[in-house]
Amino acid sequence: MTLAWQLVLIGLGATLCMDLLAWLQWRLWRLSSLDYRLLARWLGGLKQGRLCYERPTALPSVRLEVPLGWLLHYLIGIAWVGLLVLATGTAWLAQPTPGPALLAGLLSLGAPFLLLQPALGLGLAGCRTPFPWRLRLRSGLAHLVFGLGLYGTAKVLSLAWLPR
pTM of the model: 0.94
Residue 65 inside a domain? The answer is no
What tens digit of pLDDT does each residue of 20-44 get? Answer: 999 999 999 999 999 999 999 999 9
Predicted local confidence at residue 120, as pLDDT? 95
The count of domains in the chain is: 1
Residue 156 inside a domain? The answer is yes
User: What is the rounded CA–CA span in Å between residue 54 and residue 157?
Assistant: 43
Alpha helix positions (H), the chain: 3-29, 36-47, 65-88, 91-94, 98-107, 110, 117-119, 132-160
Give the residue numbers spanning the domain of 79. Answer: 3-33+75-160
Percent of the chain with pLDDT over 90: 93
Which one has a higher pLDDT value, 161 or 154? 154
Residue 109 inside a domain? The answer is yes
Give the DSSP per-residue string, 119-148.
HTTS-GGGTTSSSHHHHHHHHHHHHHHHHH
What tens digit of pLDDT does each residue of 69-104 get? Answer: 999 999 999 999 999 999 999 999 999 999 999 999
Q: What confidence category does residue 112 fall into, taking pLDDT thresholds of 50, 70 and 90? A: very high
Q: What is the mean pLDDT of the chain?
A: 95
Give the DSSP per-residue string, 57-73.
GGSPP-TTHHHHHHHHH
Predicted local confidence at residue 162, as pLDDT? 65
Residue 51 inside a domain? The answer is no
Judge contact between 131 and 121, C-beta under 8 A: no
Residue 57, pLDDT above cutoff 90: no
Q: Which of 129, 133, 138, 81 is nearest to 107 (CA)?
A: 81
